[in-house]
Structure 1
Amino acid sequence: CCGTSFDFHKKIDYLFLVGTEEGKIYKAHVFDLSINKYEALCTQLVVTKKKNKITHVQFNPVYPVVIIGDQQGHVVCLKLSPNLRKMPKAKKGQEVEKGPEVEIAKLEKLLNLVREPANKTEM
Protein backbone atom coordinates (compact mmCIF):
# COMPACT_ATOMS: atom_id res chain seq x y z
CA CYS A 1 0.00 0.00 0.00
CA CYS A 2 1.18 3.55 -0.53
CA GLY A 3 0.58 6.68 1.48
CA THR A 4 -1.32 9.33 -0.44
CA SER A 5 -1.26 12.05 2.24
CA PHE A 6 -0.20 12.60 5.85
CA ASP A 7 -0.31 15.17 8.63
CA PHE A 8 1.49 15.57 11.97
CA HIS A 9 -0.45 16.58 15.07
CA LYS A 10 0.29 20.18 16.08
CA LYS A 11 0.59 19.57 19.83
CA ILE A 12 1.68 15.92 20.03
CA ASP A 13 4.79 15.81 17.88
CA TYR A 14 5.05 12.01 17.64
CA LEU A 15 1.44 11.46 16.52
CA PHE A 16 0.65 11.46 12.82
CA LEU A 17 -2.06 10.43 10.40
CA VAL A 18 -1.58 8.69 7.04
CA GLY A 19 -4.13 8.25 4.25
CA THR A 20 -3.30 5.07 2.32
CA GLU A 21 -4.35 3.24 -0.77
CA GLU A 22 -4.98 -0.52 -0.41
CA GLY A 23 -6.68 -2.04 -3.44
CA LYS A 24 -10.33 -0.97 -3.43
CA ILE A 25 -10.38 -0.04 0.25
CA TYR A 26 -8.97 3.27 1.42
CA LYS A 27 -8.05 3.71 5.05
CA ALA A 28 -6.66 6.32 7.38
CA HIS A 29 -4.08 5.18 9.94
CA VAL A 30 -3.06 6.94 13.15
CA PHE A 31 0.49 6.16 14.30
CA ASP A 32 2.25 6.96 17.57
CA LEU A 33 6.00 6.31 17.33
CA SER A 34 6.46 6.32 21.10
CA ILE A 35 4.04 3.40 21.55
CA ASN A 36 4.48 1.22 18.44
CA LYS A 37 6.40 2.23 15.34
CA TYR A 38 5.32 -0.78 13.25
CA GLU A 39 1.55 -0.87 13.74
CA ALA A 40 -1.12 1.80 13.59
CA LEU A 41 -2.96 2.71 16.80
CA CYS A 42 -6.15 3.12 14.83
CA THR A 43 -7.23 2.18 11.31
CA GLN A 44 -10.48 3.60 10.00
CA LEU A 45 -12.23 2.79 6.72
CA VAL A 46 -12.89 6.17 5.15
CA VAL A 47 -13.47 5.84 1.41
CA THR A 48 -15.02 2.71 -0.10
CA LYS A 49 -15.78 3.75 -3.65
CA LYS A 50 -13.85 2.21 -6.51
CA LYS A 51 -11.09 4.40 -7.98
CA ASN A 52 -11.40 7.01 -5.25
CA LYS A 53 -8.27 8.11 -3.37
CA ILE A 54 -7.69 10.06 -0.18
CA THR A 55 -6.08 13.31 -1.25
CA HIS A 56 -5.76 15.19 2.04
CA VAL A 57 -5.78 14.47 5.78
CA GLN A 58 -5.60 17.19 8.42
CA PHE A 59 -5.73 17.33 12.22
CA ASN A 60 -7.93 20.11 13.59
CA PRO A 61 -5.66 22.36 15.70
CA VAL A 62 -8.40 23.08 18.28
CA TYR A 63 -10.76 20.10 18.47
CA PRO A 64 -9.94 16.36 18.59
CA VAL A 65 -11.13 15.70 15.04
CA VAL A 66 -9.54 14.72 11.75
CA ILE A 67 -10.73 16.02 8.38
CA ILE A 68 -10.21 13.73 5.36
CA GLY A 69 -10.85 14.68 1.74
CA ASP A 70 -10.97 12.48 -1.35
CA GLN A 71 -10.57 13.09 -5.07
CA GLN A 72 -14.34 13.25 -5.62
CA GLY A 73 -14.64 16.27 -3.32
CA HIS A 74 -16.16 14.40 -0.38
CA VAL A 75 -15.04 15.46 3.10
CA VAL A 76 -15.23 13.17 6.13
CA CYS A 77 -14.87 14.41 9.70
CA LEU A 78 -13.79 11.82 12.29
CA LYS A 79 -13.63 12.40 16.05
CA LEU A 80 -10.51 10.95 17.68
CA SER A 81 -11.12 8.41 20.41
CA PRO A 82 -10.28 9.58 23.96
CA ASN A 83 -7.83 6.65 24.13
CA LEU A 84 -5.86 8.12 21.22
CA ARG A 85 -5.71 11.51 22.93
CA LYS A 86 -4.14 10.22 26.16
CA MET A 87 -0.43 10.74 26.68
CA PRO A 88 1.53 7.53 27.35
CA LYS A 89 2.27 6.97 31.04
CA ALA A 90 5.85 7.05 32.25
CA LYS A 91 7.11 3.91 33.97
CA LYS A 92 8.16 4.13 37.62
CA GLY A 93 11.55 5.77 38.02
CA GLN A 94 11.74 6.69 34.33
CA GLU A 95 11.97 10.25 33.12
CA VAL A 96 10.29 10.81 29.77
CA GLU A 97 12.25 13.10 27.48
CA LYS A 98 10.12 15.45 25.39
CA GLY A 99 10.63 17.86 22.56
CA PRO A 100 11.30 17.89 18.85
CA GLU A 101 14.97 16.90 19.22
CA VAL A 102 14.00 13.64 20.94
CA GLU A 103 11.39 12.82 18.31
CA ILE A 104 13.79 13.64 15.45
CA ALA A 105 16.35 11.28 16.99
CA LYS A 106 13.71 8.52 17.26
CA LEU A 107 12.68 9.04 13.64
CA GLU A 108 16.32 9.00 12.44
CA LYS A 109 16.90 5.75 14.33
CA LEU A 110 13.83 4.24 12.68
CA LEU A 111 14.84 5.47 9.21
CA ASN A 112 18.35 4.04 9.64
CA LEU A 113 16.78 0.58 9.84
CA VAL A 114 15.41 0.86 6.30
CA ARG A 115 18.05 3.03 4.62
CA GLU A 116 20.63 1.44 2.37
CA PRO A 117 24.13 1.65 3.82
CA ALA A 118 26.52 4.20 2.33
CA ASN A 119 29.29 3.05 0.01
CA LYS A 120 31.01 0.18 1.76
CA THR A 121 34.73 -0.28 1.33
CA GLU A 122 35.76 -3.86 0.82
CA MET A 123 38.66 -5.27 2.82
Structure 2
Amino acid sequence: DEVLLALAEQLGTFTALVGGPEFVHCLLPPLESLATVEETVVRDKAVESLRAVSHEHSPPDLEGHFVPLVKRLAGGDWFTSRTSACGLFSVCYPRVSSPVKAELRQVIEVGVGSVRWPQSH
Protein backbone atom coordinates (compact mmCIF):
# COMPACT_ATOMS: atom_id res chain seq x y z
CA ASP A 1 0.00 0.00 0.00
CA GLU A 2 2.86 2.39 0.72
CA VAL A 3 4.26 1.95 -2.78
CA LEU A 4 0.84 2.53 -4.33
CA LEU A 5 0.36 5.62 -2.18
CA ALA A 6 3.72 7.04 -3.29
CA LEU A 7 2.90 6.24 -6.92
CA ALA A 8 -0.52 7.91 -6.69
CA GLU A 9 1.08 11.00 -5.18
CA GLN A 10 4.00 11.28 -7.61
CA LEU A 11 2.06 10.67 -10.83
CA GLY A 12 0.21 13.92 -10.23
CA THR A 13 3.49 15.79 -10.62
CA PHE A 14 4.68 14.08 -13.82
CA THR A 15 3.23 16.49 -16.41
CA ALA A 16 6.65 17.81 -17.44
CA LEU A 17 8.09 14.29 -17.47
CA VAL A 18 5.56 13.04 -20.04
CA GLY A 19 6.14 15.94 -22.43
CA GLY A 20 3.88 18.63 -20.98
CA PRO A 21 0.13 19.29 -21.03
CA GLU A 22 -0.22 17.94 -24.57
CA PHE A 23 0.64 14.45 -23.29
CA VAL A 24 -0.72 14.60 -19.74
CA HIS A 25 -3.49 12.19 -20.71
CA CYS A 26 -0.81 9.45 -20.60
CA LEU A 27 -0.98 9.70 -16.81
CA LEU A 28 -4.69 8.90 -16.67
CA PRO A 29 -4.65 5.08 -17.02
CA PRO A 30 -2.40 4.36 -14.02
CA LEU A 31 -4.20 6.99 -11.93
CA GLU A 32 -7.56 5.53 -12.93
CA SER A 33 -6.41 2.11 -11.74
CA LEU A 34 -5.21 3.57 -8.46
CA ALA A 35 -8.55 5.39 -8.04
CA THR A 36 -10.31 2.01 -7.86
CA VAL A 37 -8.23 0.30 -5.17
CA GLU A 38 -9.79 -0.64 -1.87
CA GLU A 39 -7.27 1.19 0.31
CA THR A 40 -8.83 4.58 1.03
CA VAL A 41 -5.62 6.60 1.38
CA VAL A 42 -4.34 5.35 -1.99
CA ARG A 43 -7.67 6.02 -3.69
CA ASP A 44 -7.92 9.51 -2.20
CA LYS A 45 -4.37 10.38 -3.27
CA ALA A 46 -5.11 9.12 -6.80
CA VAL A 47 -8.18 11.37 -6.94
CA GLU A 48 -6.10 14.29 -5.68
CA SER A 49 -3.54 13.68 -8.44
CA LEU A 50 -6.28 13.30 -11.05
CA ARG A 51 -7.76 16.61 -9.94
CA ALA A 52 -4.30 18.20 -10.30
CA VAL A 53 -3.66 16.85 -13.80
CA SER A 54 -7.18 17.77 -14.92
CA HIS A 55 -6.10 21.41 -14.83
CA GLU A 56 -3.35 20.60 -17.34
CA HIS A 57 -5.88 19.37 -19.93
CA SER A 58 -7.19 21.66 -22.64
CA PRO A 59 -11.01 21.64 -22.87
CA PRO A 60 -10.98 19.29 -25.91
CA ASP A 61 -8.55 16.93 -24.16
CA LEU A 62 -10.65 17.12 -21.01
CA GLU A 63 -13.68 15.99 -23.00
CA GLY A 64 -11.73 13.39 -24.96
CA HIS A 65 -9.73 11.81 -22.16
CA PHE A 66 -10.75 12.95 -18.68
CA VAL A 67 -14.56 12.87 -18.95
CA PRO A 68 -14.56 9.28 -20.28
CA LEU A 69 -12.43 8.31 -17.27
CA VAL A 70 -14.97 9.92 -14.92
CA LYS A 71 -17.80 8.08 -16.70
CA ARG A 72 -15.99 4.74 -16.40
CA LEU A 73 -15.39 5.29 -12.70
CA ALA A 74 -18.99 6.39 -12.12
CA GLY A 75 -20.28 3.29 -13.89
CA GLY A 76 -18.07 0.91 -11.96
CA ASP A 77 -19.46 -2.09 -10.15
CA TRP A 78 -17.71 -1.31 -6.89
CA PHE A 79 -18.22 1.61 -4.55
CA THR A 80 -14.51 2.40 -4.75
CA SER A 81 -14.67 3.62 -8.33
CA ARG A 82 -17.97 5.45 -7.85
CA THR A 83 -16.58 7.21 -4.78
CA SER A 84 -13.58 8.36 -6.79
CA ALA A 85 -15.82 9.62 -9.59
CA CYS A 86 -17.65 11.84 -7.09
CA GLY A 87 -14.39 13.61 -6.36
CA LEU A 88 -13.75 14.33 -10.04
CA PHE A 89 -17.03 15.76 -11.35
CA SER A 90 -16.37 19.22 -9.97
CA VAL A 91 -13.04 19.67 -11.77
CA CYS A 92 -14.29 18.81 -15.23
CA TYR A 93 -17.91 20.03 -15.22
CA PRO A 94 -17.18 23.80 -15.37
CA ARG A 95 -14.77 23.41 -18.30
CA VAL A 96 -16.73 21.21 -20.72
CA SER A 97 -19.32 22.01 -23.39
CA SER A 98 -23.05 22.07 -22.67
CA PRO A 99 -23.71 18.65 -24.28
CA VAL A 100 -20.97 17.07 -22.16
CA LYS A 101 -22.35 18.80 -19.06
CA ALA A 102 -25.70 17.16 -19.83
CA GLU A 103 -23.97 13.77 -20.12
CA LEU A 104 -22.24 14.29 -16.77
CA ARG A 105 -25.52 15.26 -15.11
CA GLN A 106 -27.06 12.05 -16.46
CA VAL A 107 -24.13 10.02 -15.11
CA ILE A 108 -24.68 11.58 -11.69
CA GLU A 109 -28.44 11.02 -11.85
CA VAL A 110 -28.07 7.36 -12.78
CA GLY A 111 -25.29 6.67 -10.30
CA VAL A 112 -26.66 8.64 -7.38
CA GLY A 113 -30.33 8.19 -8.27
CA SER A 114 -30.11 4.50 -7.43
CA VAL A 115 -28.94 5.24 -3.90
CA ARG A 116 -31.65 5.11 -1.24
CA TRP A 117 -31.32 8.26 0.83
CA PRO A 118 -32.64 8.39 4.40
CA GLN A 119 -35.85 10.35 4.80
CA SER A 120 -35.59 13.45 6.97
CA HIS A 121 -38.36 14.11 9.46
TM-score (norm: length of structure 2): 0.27
Higher relative contact order (CA 8 A, sep 6+): 2
Higher Cα Rg, which structure: 1
Compare the two structures and name the one with the higher helix fraction: 2
